[in-house]
């Protein structure tokens, strides 16, 4: 079953694996620096979530919620799970 857990600070037990995937999945010019990551995590409109399939980390989403709409800023799937060969 697919589940998600909210990550609200860099002290979260899931932050290190999220941050590692973030670094692999996005070019450096699309990434926040450390302080900007902490600021986003503390913002009430921002939600960073770790996604799990049967307890195994599979990806992340970083979203902003505004009046009347939401904005998905980052969405990444673990690179070892992308486009698996089925044959």
CATH number of the domain enclosing 65: 3.40.630.30
Give me Rg for the CA atoms of the chain.
13
Asked whether residue 8 is assigned to any structural domain, the reply reads yes
The SS3 call for residue 1 is coil
Enclosing domain of residue 75: 2-81
Asked whether residue 87 is assigned to any structural domain, the reply reads no
pTM of the model: 0.87
Residue appearing with tokens 């998905």: 72
| 84 has a pLDDT exceeding 80 | no
**Would you state the structure tokens that stand for residue 52, as one six-digit string?**
């799990």
**Would you state the structure tokens that stand for residue 46, as one six-digit string?**
């921002």
Asked whether residue 37 is assigned to any structural domain, the reply reads yes
Number of domains in the chain: 1
- Mean pLDDT computed over 9-30: 95
| 24 has a pLDDT exceeding 90 | yes
**Gap between the Cα atoms of 13 and 31, Å rounded:** 21
Please state, for a pLDDT cut of 70, what percent of the chain lies above it.
Answer: 95
Asked whether residue 35 is assigned to any structural domain, the reply reads yes
Asked whether residue 76 is assigned to any structural domain, the reply reads yes
């Amino acid at each position: 079953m697919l589940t998600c857990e909210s990550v609200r600070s860099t002290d979260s037990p899931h932050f290190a694996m999220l941050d590692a995937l973030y670094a692999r999945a996005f070019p450096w010019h699309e990434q926040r620096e450390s302080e900007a990551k902490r600021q986003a995590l503390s913002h009430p409109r921002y939600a960073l979530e770790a996604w799990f399939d049967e307890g195994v980390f599979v990806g992340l989403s970083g979203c902003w919620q505004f009046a009347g709409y939401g904005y998905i800023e980052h969405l990444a799937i673990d690179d070892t799970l992308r486009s698996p060969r089925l044959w």
